[in-house]
Chains A and B, each alone.
Chain A
Amino acid sequence: MIHLAAPTVMRVPAGELSARSRDRFASDLRRAGGFAQLCLLGAQACLDAARPGGSLGVLWSSSRGPVNAVRAVLAEAASGEPVMPFSFVAIQPHLAATILAQRGVDVTRAAFVRIEDEAWPWLLAQAASWLETCERVLLGRVEEGEVHQSDWCLLQRESPGILCEPLAKPDHAVPATAADWLARIAAAPGRLALRGGGEAWRFTPT
């Protein structure tokens, strides 16, 4: 059995990202790139809302990843300029886990993944596997756009939290996508069943 705690839904207008990051983390994320800043803003807000705990797995997904940094570095390369070190750093999405570890979080496993829209139940099943060796798993969805998304939650074996159970029959579950399943849970007043890709999970507040 796994419990979902501190569901955190964050929307950041693109033009406000740097200022929000600077306000929260001072200047220490300046060179990590926008995608890492966005990841850290949501992840840290989730950790702040949760109870302190031990070893942490970090599993986060995106459809397109650090698309703004990739676009910038491609333009840099197309102009004939050599690729600059921090332009290269900014296109490495996994660095968000390293920065979390720098901030004193005991990160023992980490994976940044791109999944198809309906495949979000895989994240929960994977997090459940990691809970065999990690005390907690920080699960995120980060997407850049005109308004950036950085949604996170913390999964753990013990309550408190929202009880998460896989359903054998997904018939009565509501369709959800990788982009909105966590926001739906955060907004739900009570029990909720969601499905994606032929799998379904039930979420019950405890």
Chain B
Amino acid sequence: MPVFVRAAAVASGGAAEVVPDVALPAVGGDWMERAESIARAVAAKLRAKADFDSNIPCFVGSSSHFIGALEMQKDPALDPPAGFARRLAGCFGAGGPVVSVDTACTSGITALGLAADMIAAGRCDHALVLGVELSNRLSREGFAALGLLSAGAARPCDRQRDGLVLGEAFAALLVSRSGPWRIAANASAIDPAGLAAPAPNEQVMAKAMRTALADARWRAGDVDLVKLQAGGSPTGDLAEARALRAVLGHLPRHVSLKGAIGHTLGASGPAELALLIAALARGRVPPTEGFAQSDPELGLAPSGGDVGGVRRVLFNLAGFGGSVASVALERA
């Protein structure tokens, strides 16, 4: 049974044509209150676009869950993260089953895959997918300790790129049996060397892309647009460029959104998907913030502009620990 993204809403940073539905409030105050306030604002935007039943299942993808709240407590009570996911689902009026998903930076896309499986199997008609990554010290210091952060700005695909810049996002996708974008495939792979490597290797990324194309029954030339994983990591962007060239040969238009919103880790899948779908609905691919000088080793030249004719999008993600995903999206 085909599965579609019916509606999406997102709170995130933004720049130029990357326009979130909800602007993030300043960091500060009670962490949990801020999270729920953002959740309610995103829920209102989503419900304005499409309604859903109160028994809808909810899949919450995050790499840090509510650790930001625990950091603020002197003697933190380590409640199950499923409880946090239930609270967020409640902000959306979603009273069905709740599943909290953690596969690091691909968490939100893994959550989307689980939701799509449930619909495809006929176990529900709609599902809510949340991608949640809100400010916390452990993620910042953890990525810094691993040497993955930029000293300055995110420069996806740029010759001067020197690492990731982390961002915040709270995204919601309503997945359904109908909608404007069909999920033609949601492929994943794991890089066995990913535990120690700063980025997945190109063969593993290529494997995920090839699987997505095969599952979607697309040929390489069918792809109109590639949403890059690229966040400005020297090795990660290079691995993706090589994988893309191996799989697609001639590259169609490609874009990274991480220069505009930062790398939003477990939320990045739903957040970037929501922002991209909104941009395509306006008929334009957003420019890649931070990209100025092409790197001959990469051979990537992300560009924005009018794209009324985009029908098929290859949507790449890769995460800490070797988790890789490639989603094929087709305009219905």
- Closest chain B residue, CB of each to CB of A123: B99
Q: Mark A74-100, 1 if CB is under 8 A from B, else 0.
A: 100110001111011101111101110
B residues 313-328 near A (Cβ < 8 Å) are 320-323
Contact check, A93 vs B102: say whether CB atoms are below 8 A apart. yes
CA A113 – CA B110 in complex, angstroms? 10
Minimum CB–CB distance for A172 against chain B, Å = 22
Q: Given A74-B76, A82-B141, A126-B117 in contact, is the A98-B322 Cβ separation under 8 Å?
A: yes
Instruction: Let me know if A70 and B70 touch, CB within 8 A.
Output: yes
User: In the complex the two chains form, is B67's CB within 8 Å of A98's CB?
Assistant: no
Which residues of chain A from 32 to 76 have any CB-CB distance to chain B below 8 Å in the complex? Answer: 32, 63-65, 67, 70-71, 73-74
Q: Select from chain B the residue with minimum beta-carbon distance to A197.
A: B97
Interface flags for B269-305 (1: CB within 8 Å of A; 0: not) read 0000000000000000000000000000000000000
Q: Specify which chain A residues have a CB less than 8 angstroms from the CB of B74 in the assembled complex.
A: 78
Residue-by-residue, is B87-111 near A (CB-CB < 8 Å gives 1, otherwise 0)? 0000000000111111110000010
B81 in contact with A83 (CB, 8 Å): no
- Asked if A95 contacts B80 (CB within 8 A), the reply is no
Most buried by B among A64, A65, A94, A97: A94
Is A107 in contact with B190, judged by CB distance below 8 angstroms? Answer: yes
Does residue B78 face the partner (Cβ distance < 8 Å to A)? yes
Determine whether B263 belongs to the interface, using a CB cutoff of 8 Å to chain A.
no
A101 within 8 A of B: yes
Which parts of A4-40 form the interface with B (CB within 8 Å)? 32
B250 at the interface (CB under 8 A from A): no
Tell me whether chain A's interface is mostly helix, strand or loop, or mixed. Answer: helix
Is A119's CB within 8 Å of the partner chain B? yes
Docked pose: A108 CA to B100 CA in angstroms: 20
1/0 per position for A114-148, CB-CB distance to B under 8 A? 11100100100110111000000000000000000
- A115-B100, A119-B97, A122-B99 are known contacts. Are A129 and B71 too (CB-CB below 8 A)? no
How many chain B residues touch A (CB < 8 A): the figure is 48
In the complex, which residues of chain A have a beta carbon less than 8 angstroms from the beta carbon of B121?
A: 125, 128-129
**A132 → chain B, closest Cβ, in Å?**
9
Known A83-B142, A83-B145, A126-B114; judge A95-B98 contact (CB<8 A): no
With both beta carbons as reference points, the residue of chain B lying nearest to A118 in the complex is identified as: B97
A130 touches B76 (CB 8 A): no
Of B104, B190, B322, the most chain A CB neighbours within 10 A belong to: B190
Decide if A95 touches B321 in the complex (CB within 8 Å): yes
A188 at the interface (CB under 8 A from B): no
Q: Which residues of chain A come closer than 8 Å to B67, judged between CB atoms?
A: 70, 74, 91
A64 to B70, CA, bound (A): 14
Q: Which of these binds chain A: B28-36, B151-159, B192-200, B234-242?
A: B192-200
Q: Are B103 and A111 in contact (CB under 8 A)?
A: yes
Contact at B145–A64, with CB atoms within 8 Å? no
A115-B82 contact, Cβ under 8 Å, with A70-B70, A95-B195, A108-B188: yes
Whole-angstrom CA separation of A190 from B123 in the bound complex:
29
A18–B292 alpha-carbon span in the complex (Å): 50
A110 B100 Cβ-Cβ under 8 A: no
Give the CA-CA distance A99 to B285 in the complex, in Å: 38
A26 to B178, alpha carbons, bound, how many Å? 51
Nearest chain A CB to B130 CB, angstrom units? 14
Question: How many angstroms between the C-alpha atoms of A179 and B71 in the bound complex?
Answer: 28
Q: Shortest CB–CB separation between residue A118 and chain B, in angstroms? A: 9
* Residue B21 at the chain A interface, CB threshold 8 Å: no
8 Å CB contact of A102 from B70, B101, B120, B193: B193
Query: Knowing that A114-B80, A119-B97 are A-B contacts, what are 19 other residue pairs whose CB atoms are under 8 Å apart, sorted by A's residue number?
Result: A63-B82, A65-B81, A70-B70, A74-B70, A77-B138, A78-B74, A83-B144, A84-B145, A85-B146, A97-B190, A98-B190, A98-B322, A110-B103, A112-B101, A113-B99, A114-B99, A115-B97, A129-B118, A129-B120
20 contacts between A and B (CB under 8 A): A64-B78, A65-B81, A71-B78, A77-B138, A78-B71, A78-B74, A82-B144, A83-B138, A83-B141, A85-B145, A87-B142, A88-B142, A92-B102, A98-B323, A110-B190, A111-B110, A113-B102, A113-B114, A129-B117, A197-B97
